[in-house]
Amino acid sequence: MFVEPAIENIIFNYSEFLMAPTNLIIAPLFLFTLFSLVRVQEGVEDSGKYPIVVSTWPFLEAVRAAWEAVDKRFNAVDAVVEGCSACEELRCDGTVGPGGSPDENGETTIDALLMNGATMEVGAVASMRYVKDGIKAARLVMQHTKHTMLVGERASIFAISMGLPGPTNLSSSESMDKWTRWKENNCQPNFRKNVVPVDSCGPFQPKDNLGHNKGICSEANSIGTIESRTCLVGPHSHDTISMAVIDKMGHVAVGTSTNGATFKISGRVGDGPIAGSAAYADDGVGACGATGDGDIMMRFLPCYQVVESMRQGMEPELAAKDAISRIARKFPDFMGAVVAINKDGVHAGACHGWTFQYSVRSPDMDDVKVFTVLP
């Protein structure tokens, strides 16, 4: 049985406590309190609910890495870092870590977030260049600054100054080939709207007349109705690992890592590093992870919504569906998903516009299990 060091000290000093005759009267109360403390520790260890790891998508090796860490008594924060780091190294789906999702200039950048549900501390980096370790950079922001987020090249300088490798070219032959083909296709589709290009790939100027020369994926017309974004956002044009871990002590943490939307405008930041959007955690409630069309989803803070709904008593499945439905009512063509887990270890997902899968490892499983959620 694991006993906290503080309890070990209590046991060690109990003999000295009994040496004083005046303390014999309250000794039974002392023993009852000590027994209760040990039972609390046993309850955490033997509940059968913890540890547990949940991640968006079938990122099996990432979940295994996080599970191995948390099963060896790593805390939830460090286990999340282990899991997301594994995904970055594997370049999961080409959309996590370096080497994927070129922007309009052909460059790959990194967004990442880490949140401690016990302290509500957050560290994040956004549009980070030249450093491949997004989740570790986010942890450095959390550990060594009083800020929540650092962005761009200055985030890279900070991460390198704190010991991460760099500067590193985050592009790959695959990402550059993808960018070259996109250029040859007249830079279509792209994320511009209400603009006129000087040539097919820009530079761009605002339209004088919103009803004239509408682009392929223009988002809004002159009367304000929302048009489809499906030519821009799909299961293979972007992705995020969003991972939640509850450790053996019942503490919760979440993390995200992504290289963003393919062919995004340079400088774009999605929902990945935004607390409450792609991830959120609260020790007293549970956690949520999200993936999808980040430009839309971040307007609704779906993970904050999920956790707050669970705080009010909603089961994870209903909380997840409610958060997704709020977005779908305004943007019927959006693609996205959330996965929710409460403090009891109950998990569920919800999605819109695509079929979603998420991965789980818990004490009653021999290996990672993938769950499929239909829209």
294 is known to lie in a ligand binding site: yes
Q: 342, 341, 248: which is closest to 43 by C-alpha? A: 248
Tell whether residue 198 is among the known ligand binding residues.
no
> What is the C-alpha to C-alpha distance for residues 243 and 14, in angstroms, rounded to an integer?
43
| Distance from chain centroid for Cα 27 | 49
Is 293 labelled a binding residue?
Answer: yes
Lookup result for tokens 């450095």: 140
- Copy the structure tokens of residue 179: 């960018």
User: Which residues fall within 8 angstroms of residue 331, CB to CB, at 6 or more apart?
Assistant: 226, 229, 293, 296
Are 3 and 27 in contact by the 8 Å Cβ rule? The answer is no
Burial class (CB in 10 A: 0-12, 13-18, 19+), 302: buried
Residue 148 is among the residues annotated as catalytic for this protein? no
Does 268 count as an annotated binding residue?
Answer: yes
Q: How far is the C-alpha of 185 from the C-alpha of 316, rounded, in Å?
A: 43
DSSP string, 249-283: TS-EEEEEEE--STTPPTT---STTSBTTTEEEET
Residue-wise burial string across 7-23, b where 16 or more C-beta atoms lie within 10 A, e elsewhere: eeebeeeeeeeeeeeee
Show the tokens assigned to 52. Answer: 């547990």
Q: Which of 309, 303, 362, 310 is nearest to 337 (CA)?
A: 303
Identified catalytic residue from 240, 256, 258, 262: 240
Q: Which residue has the tokens 């760099």?
A: 166
**C-alpha–C-alpha distance, residues 96 and 90, integer Å:** 8
93 carries a ligand binding annotation: no
How many DSSP H helices and E strands does the chain contain? Answer: 10, 14
And the tokens for 352?
Answer: 């819109």
To the question of whether residue 133 is assigned a binding role by annotation, the answer is no
Annotated binding residue at 271?
yes
On whether 329 is known to bind a ligand per the annotation, the reply is no
Per-position DSSP letters for 290-316, written without gaps between them: EEE-HHHHTTT-HHHHHHHHHHTT--H
Query: Measured between alpha carbons, how far is 229 from 135 in angstroms, rounded to an integer?
Result: 29
Distance between CA atoms of residues 208 and 132, nearest Å: 41
- Annotated binding-site positions for substrate: 268-271, 291-294
**Which residues are annotated as catalytic?**
240
- Annotated binding-site positions: 268-271, 291-294
